[in-house]
Structures are given as structure tokens and as C-alpha cells.
Structure 1
Amino acid sequence: MFQLKWLWHNLIGDRIRYIIALLLSVVGSSLTIVNPYIGQRIVDTFIAGENASSNLASERALLIGLCLGMIGFSLLRTGLAYFTTILYERASQNMLFRVRVYLYNKIQGQDMKYYDHNRTGDLMTKMTGDLEMVRHSIAWIIKTIIESLTVFAAAVVYFFFIDVGLTLWLLLLSPPIFIVAFIFARRVRPMYMDLRERLSQLNTTTQENIAGNRVVKAFAREEYEVKKFTDKNVNYSEANKAAAMVWLDYFPYLETLAQAFNVILMLAGGVLVMNGRLTFGEFSAFSALIWGLSNPMRNIGIIINDIQRFFASLSKVIEVYYAHPDIVNEHKAAVKKRYRGRIQFDQVSFKYDNAMVLQDISFSVEPGETLAIMGATGAGKTTLINLIPRFYDVAKGRVLVDGTDVRKLELDELRGNIGVATQDVLLFSDTIDGNIAYGNPEMPEEDVVKFAGLAAAHGFIRKIPDGYDTIVGERGVGLSGGQKQRIALARAMAVQPPILILDDTTSAVDLETEEHIQKSLRELEFDCTKIIIAQRVSTTSQADRILILENGRVIETGSHAELLAKRGYYYDVFMLQTEGIGRQANAIG
């Protein structure tokens, strides 16, 4: 019942069209009894009746009228069916469009936690195959159910009108058919839920393989990936076959019972005709309309199959439809103010899936300062900076920007004041110009060039044949890691944010390029608080303050000179890197 309410709710704007389609389905299906009735009149009046010969001679106009009536009603039913199909398609396609837009907006509005727990391939399946199954159900399955029920009901009423006894004999087959259908439905539903999950796994494997094709080729793992895909494909295929074979298990029973309608009609109807209780015309009407009983029974298995697929898909669509993020972006259309850029962590702790990642972190960064963060892999550096634009919420404590808890700030305004260059660089399938100006599509060309220069990207861009109009390809394919990092850095700086967060964005560039970038960051034309995650001492040494994380805790904090004097973690890293550079210099010398 909930699913039907959901469908009705999402038919807003097309409800009248859909109701008209349903009514026309009922009307068109009800008209199926007209031609058998006309056929009955023709047989009893002009073929098998007592006065058939005289009627054929004297009432030829009636015969012609009845024949034209059969043709006319056939054309009318065809026209109604055509018009009804158009209405169903219009309503279902419009609903599909609206729901798909809503789901896309819903997915866009989810927080990072949602993406951490939902596979890309699964979301793609919900947005495509599952939604199309829902549309198909609206346009065809419900239509088939309504028309089958109407034809069945109309045929039963007409048969009762002709002969109650024969109709009851025919209806004796209905209970066993419904029992078989009920058993089939209970058995097949969980199979379609499993089938839906296997399709999602197949799509996820495909998406991951295509997205990671360069890694696959780099490790020559094509055969392994083909085998992995084949295994998923085989699992999906076997589940599909299993579901189909279940239908075949019950098909002989349903088909036999459906065919039994004709056997009962021939036996019982023949006896009634010989006894004179049934005329030849009435028997012909039964024969012409017996499909109205047998076809719905024959199709009941197919309908149940589609209904189970429909519910399996609809449940997945509804999961996305009613998913609520913990961090809600209300997109308030207010004038966005520019922040000063003061950041404070007040006894912040954060856990991910009950695993503590950050514990009791406290520090502050004044407007215009540069804070560098170092630490071993898994220390919690990226998690720490993700709390500032509120990609995640703290488990304990507060993160404040300009003295206000970020949970009380409007998300668009907060994130509009923060420029982020992430560790995992993602460039869109667009021009280099479009990627740099992503935060402000109206940015003048000269500003794009300026920020590319600040990020040490202008040099290699102008050497590319198409320059800033070069299409970089999906995820930046065609560019080196360092080139992608520099474009991502230019994109972050181009919005001129009061807070700039750089997550290891110079790890893939050479020392000379890094020095150019560091100089640019120190000489930015706009006021900016910078938080930089880095592993190179050459990057962190210029910062006003350095924060050292270990196992989610701050173990050291201070300037470059202060941390060297403490002879702790930072000193060890400095000595290790300095000695490494010294050995390289000696080797070159």
C-alpha cells in the first residue's frame, strides 16, 4: 500500500491523464463483450436459428448492420487502445523525468557519510535500471492488470447472463490457479531481491574497472579484471536463470489450468447445446470470449514476475528517495558574506563507524596565518580538514570559523568561503579553462591565466596545442599527476577564498615547481588563511605553525625552528629528508 501511495504522490501533474488512461482501459476492455454478443445474434438469427433462412432473405440490412457494428467496435477498441497507450506513456515518462531529477538532487544533497556507505555502481543502477522498471510498471504492468481484471469481470458477467450453470463450471478452475500463483509469488520475490543485488554488484565492478583502467593496465591485470567481471556476470546470469526456471516450474500447471477452460466449455457446453438449453449462438459467444477467462489466468504468472521485479526495484528507488543526510544543506538564498578566516578546534573528537579517528584536538589559526599539518599515514590529517567545510560532523567538541560553530553556519556560505584542493585530484571532462573556473564559470580569461600562473600551471598549459581549450578527459586522463595537482590548486585559488585547504597538493611536483607554488601562496593578493597537509619539510618549513598528528592526537605543535629544537617526530622527518637530499646530491656529484 505504501508503494502505491508513493506512485500516486509522484504522479502529481499527470494524475488526471493517468486516471483517464485507467478509465479508458476499463472501457476498452469492457467492449470486448460487444463483438461476441453481435456474433451470437448473427449465429442465432442468420445461421443456426429456426428462421435463419427467412431472416437471411428478409433482414439482410440487419445482418449488414451487425457486421458493420463488429467492424466499428473493433476499430473503436483499437483507437481507444492506441490513445490509452499514449496517455500511459506520457504519464510514466513524465513521472520518470521528475523522479530522476529529484533523486539526482537528493544524491547531490547527501553528506560524505552516505557516499562512504553506498557504492557508485549501486547508485547508478537505482538511477537507471530500477527507475526504468518502475516506469515500465506504471505504463504496462498496471495497465495489463486493469485490462485483465476488466476482461475477466466482463466475461464472467456476460457468461452469467447467458448461462449461470456453465459459468460456474468454468469458474471452478479459478481457485486452484490463484493458489498456484500465490505459491509462485512467495517463492520468487526473494529471488528478485537477490537478482537486483547481483546486478548492482555487476555494475559496481564495471564502473570501478572503467574508472581504474590505467591502474589495471599498469599492473597488466586485464585478465584478472575480465575474470572478476565474468564471475559477477555469471552470478547475475545464474540468478536470472534461477528466477526464470522458477516460473517454468509453475508454468505447466497454470497453462494446463488455462487450457482446461476450453475443455470444460467443449464438454459442458456441448452437452447443454445438445439438450437445447444453450443455442449455437450462445455457445459461439462462450467460445469467442473464453479467452477472457483463460488469458488472464495464463498471464498471471508473467504479471507476478513483473510485479516482483517492480517491488524489488521500487524498494531501492525509495531508499534513495527518502534518504536524509545528517548534514543538511538548506541552500538559503541570502547574500553570502566573506569570512575573516579564523579557525578554532575546541576539544574535537571524531569517530568513523565507531572507530575513533581524532581525539581531543584543540588548536586555533588566526586570519592570514599558514598552518601545516604533518603525520604518518592514517594519523587523521585528511579527516581533520574535512571537519572545517563540514563534510563530516564532530562526535565531540566544536569546530569554529570566525567564532561560530560550523554546525550553525549556512553550508553554502561556509563552503563558499573555503577553497579546497583534495588529495585525490578529480578533474571533470571539460576544458582546462572550465576546470580552473569551476567555482566561478563567469571568471574572465585573464583571471584563469593568472591563477594558473600562481599554481605553476601556465607554463605547461601554453605548450599544449589547444592551450586552455584542451579537453582534459575523464578524471584528467592525459595529464600527469603533477599537472593535475597544479590545475586543482589553481581551481582552489581562483575563487579567492578566505580559507584555503590544500591536502598534499604538491606531492607530485618537483622541488623547483614547489618553491614557485610556495612563493605564490605567500604572496596572494587576497587575505587568506591557509591549512596545508604535507609530507615534505620543504613545504612545511615556511608555515607560521606546524601541527604533528599521531593516531588522531596532536603530539607536537610549533614553528619550524621550535619543532627542530624539540627533537621529536618533526626533527626525525627533517633529518631523514635532509640526509636523503644530501645523498642524492653526492650521488649526482
Structure 2
Amino acid sequence: MTEIKKLWAYLKNYRLYFFAALIFIILNVVFSMIPGYLNRRIIDDVIRGQQLKLLFSLLTAYVIATLLRSIAIMLQRFFTEILSQNLLKDLKQALYEKLQKLSFNFYNKNRTGELMSRMTGDMEAIRMLFADGMIQFTRAIFYLIFVVLVLIQENIALTLVSICLSPLIGFFAYRLGVRIKPIFRQVRRQYSDLNSTVQENISGIRIVKAFHQQAFEMEKFSEENNSYFIKNYRAAQIWSKYFPIMEFLGGMSTVLLLFYGGRLVISGEITLGVWMQFNSYLWMLIMPMRMIGPIVNMFSRTSASAERIFNILEKEPEIKNIAEPIKATKIAGKVEFKNVGLSYGDEVILKNISFLAEPGQTIAIMGTTGSGKTSLVNLIPRFYEATSGEVLIDGRDNRSYDLYDLRQQISVVMQEVFLFSETIANNIAYGRPEVGLEKIKSAAEISSARDFIEEMEAGFEEVIGERGMGLSGGQKQRVSLARALVQESPILIMDDATSAVDMETEHQIQQALESRADKSTVFLIAHRISSVRNADQILILNDGEIIERGTHAELIKQQGHYYKMFKEQYKEVMDEAEIAERWVD
């Protein structure tokens, strides 16, 4: 019930619809009880009492009651649908906004398919509770109240006999809820796993086909699908155990009414019409009792789904503003790392990193895979938080800046290029949708993307496929670089941004970047010496530490790791003697 209480916070804005739905559900109950009373009057007064003059008025009342009930049913459904759809809209909006605020680390720990299932399957389970479960639950409550009140006035003994098995039905309904809720929690979790398997397969279908792993993927899906079936089957087993008991007890209530009520009719203590009224009203009691199972089922599903949704909604972002952050509309671009360390749990990623980048300088970062290069640059825009030391921007700790303002000053070309299913122009202008076509073209010119874009049929208005499908790896990198350049940010981070382009194109990009009037402070992660040799400072990382630093010429003279990389990459065009003659001696 804790999750249901939390949902109420989202219903407060729509309390008018909520109470309107309640009113019409209650009216539905009231109008549905009128025919039972009218049946009693027809049997006792018209048929047995021979008061034929009452028949027309009673039948007219029957028609009016049926019409009013139909209207109440229509309006109860109308208001519950408005309520549930608005709740769904607000919950989805809140969840989506929360997902935008959560840090990179959250996405490292959660799979895309699982998050998608919370936006779809879990949300739909909540909607169904308020669209359908609310009607069933409210009807059950008010049928119980109204019917019992009416029947007690007629004959208290017969009423008690008719409802004597109700506590047992309630007990088994409670037991069903207790047993089935943890199973539904497992079902929702397995649904997420199944969803993740499908999502990953579709996203990576080209790799699957390239490595002929269709059979393996089908087997993996079969295992997840079978696990989902087993968990649902367990829920069905629990359901099949308790629901027949409740059905049996409901049927026995009818037997007791027939037995005891029939004796009262024979003895003359009640009329046949009263007995018929009891019979019709008893079914109004039994029907909600029979619906206890589905209602408990629905509440359990909703509770499990709401729990998963609120687990995200209540999660605090790891990266957030301090109490009074500094608003920075324009920074110079001076960046300094002071004894910076970074850890993920027990895993140490960076150790004692210190260096200074003056505005307009280019800092190149090299090292083996897993040495911490990307983690280092991710600390600058606070995608992750340093666990020790300080990252200073223009002399201030980057944690003191407003997070939005800080990231507005930093452009990033990520290692894994992601482009949207949009026009190329909109992809380039993604961070600044207000920029004109000339600025977009200028950024594409610097990134050496303009020529191939204009050769396309629709040019900059060409719509590319999902994740940039239709473009080569080098083309995607150049569009991604143009997207960063159009920001005109004081700090530019390029994480292996030209690894897929040829060396000639890379050289053109470097020259264009150098010729910019308003130069950014550039952090360049690369594996090719040709990419970094003109940098103002080159940092060599190994196992999270800076083991070498300096300019290209200085590092060649040191004859350390950088020298070895240089020799390896240039061994076809330059021997060791030439290297020594040019830089070492």
C-alpha cells in the first residue's frame, strides 16, 4: 500500500476527476440495486397481490433505473479513463525528467531494455489499476455496504446466514495477495530482462549476423522467454489454488440462502418477493467477492510496478548542484587538475592526476586501453565526480559551477558516436537549435564534413537512419565533431574523435581547428601520433597515472613509452637513426 500512497501525490492535481469517478461508480451501484427492489414489488404486489395498476409504473421505473445505470457506467468509465491517462502522462514525464538528471554511472549499472520496460509495461500496469481496478474495488466496497444495510432491514437472520462465509472469502483473498505479490515482483523483473535481451539484439543485429550468432541469440532469448513463462506460471499456480476456494465459498453462500431462505418463505416469515430480492442482492455481494481475486491480482501487479518506478523517481542524482552554484555565462577555458583521484567502488581508475591547461592550449592524452583517458576528460564537465583532489576551471572548483552553465561551456565529441534519426542539419545543431544554416555549414567545413554532406541528394536536409545508419564511421565522426564545434565552447573534448578518418582528412581537420579565431582549450584523446604531435602538452597514462608528459619533441628525447609508440607507428618511413638525428641528439 506504500506505493499506492505515493501514487496519490500524482492524483492530487486530478482529484476532481477522481471524486467524479467515485460518485458515478456509487450511482452505478445504487441504480443496479433498484431492479431487485422492483422485482420484489412485481412478485408480491402485482403477481401475488393482484395490483395490476402498479405494473406500468414499476416497469417504467425499471426502464428509468436501467437507463440511469447505463449513463452512470458511461460517465464512470469516462472519468476513470481521464484520471488514469493524466496520471500516466505525469508519471511518464516525471520518470523521463528523472532519467535526464541521473548520472552516467546510473546508466552504467542499468540496461536500456530494463529502463524501457518501466516506461511501458510498468506504466500500463498502473494505468489499468485506475482505469479498471478502481471501478471494481469501489463497486465491491459499496455493494457490500448498501446491500448489507438493505438486507438487514428486511431480515437480519437471513442476512447473517447469507454473508456468514464472507470472512473466509476475505481471508483467502488476503492470503492470495500475500503469496502472489513477490511472484509478480519477479515477473516484472524478468519482463525487464526479456525486454533488454530483445533491445540489445535489435541494436546489435549487424554484429549478430556478422558473427553468425543467430542461433546463439535465439537460444538466449528462449531461455529468458522460458524464465518469463515459468514465473507467470508460478503466479497462475497460486491463483489456481486460491481462486477456486473463493468461488466455492461464494457458491455455498447461495446454497445457504436457498436452504434457509426457502424455509422462511414456506413458514411465511418472509414473502417470495423478499426472498427473490435477497437472491438478487446476494449475487451483488458474491460478485465482488469473486472479484477479490482479480482485484488483489491487479493491486499486486501495480504495487510491484510502482515499486520499480519509484525506485528511480526517488533516486538522487550523484552529480548535482551545490546550494548556491556560480552562474558562468562565459569562461576563459583554463583547466587545472590538482592531485585528482577517481574510484568506482573498490576499483581505482585515476591516481594523483595533476596538470595545467592554459586557455587555447591543446592537451593530448594517450595510453593503453583502460588506462583512464576517457575517465579523466569526463571529470571536466562532471559526468563523473572526482573522489579526491580538485578539477579547477578558471581557478574555481568545477563543483562550484551551476551544472547546466558548466556543460554549456564544454563541447564533447564522444568515443561512441550517436546520431539521431533526423536531418544532418538538426544533428549538427542539436546543442544549439537556434543557429542558422551558415553556422552549421561553417562547423561542417572545419570538421571536413561539408563536402560529403552537400554531395547527398538532400544535402544538409538529408535524413539519416537510426544511430547514423547510412553514414560511414568516418562520416559519423565528422558530423559529431561538427555538432561539437557549432557550440563554439571555450573547452572542447575530443575522445578519439578522428580514429575512423584517414590521415589526410585528419590533418585538414587539425589545420582548420588551429586556424579558428576563437580557439578552444582542447583535450584530445588519440592513439595516433599524427593526431597529437602538435599538442602543447602530451600526457601519457598508464594504470590511471601520468607516467610521461611534455611536447612531442620532449617526449621523443625521453625515449620512454611515447618514443616506443612513435617508433612502432613510423617504422615503415623512419628508422631509429633518423629519429635520433632529428629529435634525440
Q: Same fold by TM-score, threshold 0.5 exceeded?
A: yes
Alignment partner of 2:317: what SS?
coil
Q: Where do residues 83-482 of structure 1 align in structure 2 (5 Å cutoff)?
A: 83-328=75-320, 337-482=329-474
- The alpha-carbon deviation at position 332 of structure 1 amounts to 10
2:582 equivalent in structure 1: none
Offset from partner CA, 1:492-531 (integer Å, 9 cap, x none): 1111111111001111111111111111121122121111
Q: What is the rounded CA distance, in whole Å, between the counterparts of 2:34 and 2:491 in structure 1?
A: 77
Q: What is the rounded CA distance, in whole Å, between the counterparts of 2:186 and 2:84 in structure 1?
A: 26
- The alpha-carbon deviation at position 580 of structure 1 amounts to 4.6
2:556 equivalent in structure 1: 564
- The alpha-carbon deviation at position 336 of structure 1 amounts to 5.1
Q: What is the rounded CA distance, in whole Å, between the counterparts of 2:341 and 2:325 in structure 1?
A: 32
2:19 equivalent in structure 1: 19
In structure 1, what residue type is equivalent to 2:487? V
* % same residue: 39
Q: What is the rounded CA distance, in whole Å, between the counterparts of 1:329 and 1:99 in structure 2?
A: 24
- The alpha-carbon deviation at position 442 of structure 1 amounts to 2.1
Alignment partner of 1:359: what SS?
strand
2:532 equivalent in structure 1: 540
- The alpha-carbon deviation at position 185 of structure 1 amounts to 1.6
Deviates more, 1:233-242 or 1:493-502: 233-242
Offset from partner CA, 1:168-205 (integer Å, 9 cap, x none): 11122112212222222221111100000000001111
Q: Relative to 1, partners in 2 of residues 1:334 and 1:401: Cα closer, same or farther, differing over 3 Å?
A: closer
- The alpha-carbon deviation at position 466 of structure 1 amounts to 2.0
Q: Relative to 1, partners in 2 of residues 1:98 and 1:407: Cα closer, same or farther, differing over 3 Å?
A: same
CA contact (8 A) 1:329 1:412 kept: no
CA contact (8 A) 1:330 1:411 kept: no
2:583 equivalent in structure 1: none
CA contact (8 A) 1:331 1:412 kept: no
Q: What is the rounded CA distance, in whole Å, between the counterparts of 2:382 and 2:73 in structure 1?
A: 55
Q: What is the rounded CA distance, in whole Å, between the counterparts of 2:124 and 2:325 in structure 1?
A: 34
- The alpha-carbon deviation at position 401 of structure 1 amounts to 0.5
Q: What is the rounded CA distance, in whole Å, between the counterparts of 2:216 and 2:78 in structure 1?
A: 48
CA contact (8 A) 2:334 2:395 kept: yes
**Residue ranges of structure 2 left out of the alignment (5+ in a row):** 576-585
Q: What is the rounded CA distance, in whole Å, between the counterparts of 1:7 and 1:447 in structure 2?
A: 47
Give the one of 541, 547, 553 matched to 1:549.
Answer: 541
Deviates more, 1:409-418 or 1:321-330: 321-330
Alignment partner of 1:14: what SS?
helix
**Residue ranges of structure 1 left out of the alignment (5+ in a row):** 584-589
Offset from partner CA, 1:214-261 (integer Å, 9 cap, x none): 222221222222222222122112212221222112222111111112
Aligned length: 575
- The alpha-carbon deviation at position 329 of structure 1 amounts to 5.6
Alignment partner of 2:13: what SS?
coil
CA contact (8 A) 1:188 1:308 kept: yes
CA contact (8 A) 1:455 1:517 kept: yes
In structure 2, what residue type is equivalent to 1:430? E
CA contact (8 A) 1:537 1:577 kept: yes
Q: Relative to 1, partners in 2 of residues 1:132 and 1:21: Cα closer, same or farther, differing over 3 Å?
A: same
CA contact (8 A) 2:136 2:288 kept: no
CA contact (8 A) 1:438 1:491 kept: yes
- The alpha-carbon deviation at position 581 of structure 1 amounts to 5.3
Q: What is the rounded CA distance, in whole Å, between the counterparts of 1:442 and 1:171 in structure 2?
A: 70
CA contact (8 A) 1:109 1:329 kept: no
Q: Where do residues 47-62 of structure 1 align in structure 2 (5 Å cutoff)?
A: 47-48=47-48, 52-53=49-50, 55-56=51-52, 60=53, 62=54
2:31 equivalent in structure 1: 31
TM-score normalised over the length of structure 2: 0.95
Offset from partner CA, 1:265-304 (integer Å, 9 cap, x none): 1111111111111111101111222211211111111111
Q: What is the rounded CA distance, in whole Å, between the counterparts of 2:322 and 2:123 in structure 1?
A: 26
Deviates more, 1:162-171 or 1:21-30: 21-30
Deviates more, 1:112-121 or 1:191-200: 112-121
- The alpha-carbon deviation at position 582 of structure 1 amounts to 6.0
Q: What is the rounded CA distance, in whole Å, between the counterparts of 2:236 and 2:323 in structure 1?
A: 47
Q: What is the rounded CA distance, in whole Å, between the counterparts of 2:454 and 2:226 in structure 1?
A: 49
Q: What is the rounded CA distance, in whole Å, between the counterparts of 2:117 and 2:429 in structure 1?
A: 31
CA contact (8 A) 1:331 1:411 kept: no
- The alpha-carbon deviation at position 5 of structure 1 amounts to 2.8
Offset from partner CA, 1:397-425 (integer Å, 9 cap, x none): 10011001010001111111111100000
Offset from partner CA, 1:360-406 (integer Å, 9 cap, x none): 11111001111100001000000000000000111001001100101
Q: What is the rounded CA distance, in whole Å, between the counterparts of 2:127 and 2:302 in structure 1?
A: 9
- The alpha-carbon deviation at position 4 of structure 1 amounts to 3.2
Q: Does 1:500 align with 2:485?
A: no
Alignment partner of 2:108: what SS?
helix
CA contact (8 A) 2:136 2:291 kept: no
